[in-house]
Amino acid sequence: MRVLIVGGGGREHALAWKLKTDSPSIELIAAPGNPGIAELGECVAVAATDLEGLQQLARNRAVDLTVVGPEAPLSLGIVDHFRAAGLPIFGPTRAAAEIETSKAFAKRLMLDAGIPTARAEVHTEVGAAKAAARTLGSPMVIKASGLASGKGVIICRTIQEADTAIEEMLGGDRFGEAGHEVLVEEFMSGEELSVFAITDGERFVTLPALQDHKRLLDQDRGPNTGGMGAYVPVTLDAPSGQAERIIDATLTALRERGRPFTGLLYAGLMLTRDGFKVVEFNCRFGDPETQALMPVLDVEPDLLTLMTVVARGDGLPPTRARAQGVCVTTVLAAANYPETPRMGDVISIGSAAPGVVVFHGGTARDADGQLVTAGGRVLAVSAVGATMMDARRRGAEAADAIRFAGMQRRSDIGWREIARASGN
């Protein structure tokens, strides 16, 4: 079987690793891929947003399944494009992908369908947005409606901070086009959970839930990032079945609006005093959650089978999914990340220790063949252990052995889980 993976980040490396580990005989092609994926298959220099080039590649190489990693090609309609050409592809249509690509659309859908979420207003004018902020009161959240690489969410503790965020998005050009429509949203407090559901549009299976760490620094300090680490499994005293009910209600609401969702629906949930509320939806696997999930994901039928069934338009079979062990993933970020990550620093990795996988996110080969930094989140060190402390220790030892100038990382991934285990 020949599989094309669209994208070139850590999530795509983790998916490629999982598919190849489960099915060593498959032929992997990645576009554009990265140096880590190149150790598993062939990387072809076609951009993830070059829909014509990707379709031609899939057709010329007789690809049996295309898996889309990042959100950008989904927002451009790659699934519609491939389906029109009769090419099996795993992911949602452009219309269904608006659940992520437009936070305004997602919020209206949730409010209309009665899906629990924070109160919010959508605005495109500075004055109206500021007025909404004063009505809502601080603290609050200002969100860019469009795609902003996971960084378009500003938590504002005061009205003045909200005014600045609004001015920078609507009055300036922070986050570009993505910030020209904003949500002025109620601040929710609680613990967050990332829930993935593979779906054929009606039936779905949820995978083991994870927790992401968005802030750059330990103790959840510093600026927001695309994610500095994640762990699985998560033990929370959460309402039984509520996450599944939220997924089901969302899929139903999308079908009723003529936007049936197939592929991977990601629900970012906040466990509040009133139960789970939706923070956001994504229309693809999360990053870095995928790097934490793949090393311990035990799913039957296997992931390749589930993706293939969905891509071909067939119904999901009965499925069982669990985490076999504990995985802690620590992101190693470039100097100056997240604002202006520095590129070109030489990377030394060495050989991975047992139970550790190093996924490439922002790496490249220079003219001399050296591995160098080529993005903000450079590598993800995923360590598997019998316990959270064991996995974190292995991950820390592996990260200590990796070198590149200006490397940034958190040392406290999984701290809430460890606190729960200790009774604190």
pLDDT-derived band at 171 (thresholds 50, 70, 90) equals confident
Fold of domain 125-180: Dna Ligase; domain 1 (3.30.1490)
Question: Cα–Cα distance between 25 and 6 in angstroms, integer?
Answer: 20
Spell out the domain ranges in the chain. Answer: 2-91, 125-180, 191-422
Mean pLDDT within 69-96:
98
pLDDT at 332 over 90: yes
One-letter amino acid of 271: L
Report pLDDT for 147. 85
pLDDT digits (tens, 9 = 90+) for 275-318: 999 999 999 999 999 999 999 999 999 999 999 999 999 999 99
Average confidence (pLDDT) over 54-59: 98
pLDDT at 149 over 80: no
Structure tokens at 262: 């197939």
**Does the structure show a pLDDT above 80 at 150?**
no
Looking at the domain that runs over 2-91, which CATH code has it been given? 3.40.50.20
- Selection from 288, 303, 149, 150 nearest residue 231 by Cα: 288
Domain 191-422, classified CATH 3.30.470.20, yes or no: yes
Mean pLDDT of the region 144-168: 88
Which pLDDT score is estimated for 148? 80
Residue 421 pLDDT more than 90?
no
Average pLDDT over residues 120-125: 91
Say if residue 237's pLDDT is above 80.
Answer: no
- Model confidence at 153, in pLDDT bands (50, 70, 90)? confident
> Does the pLDDT value for residue 423 go beyond 80?
no
Q: Is 307 exposed, middle or buried (0-12, 13-18, 19+ CB in 10 A)?
A: buried
Q: How far apart are CA 404 and CA 98, in angstroms?
A: 38
Residue 196: pLDDT band (50, 70, 90) is very high
Residue 97 has pLDDT above 80, yes or no: yes
**Structure-token match 């004063």, residue found:** 134
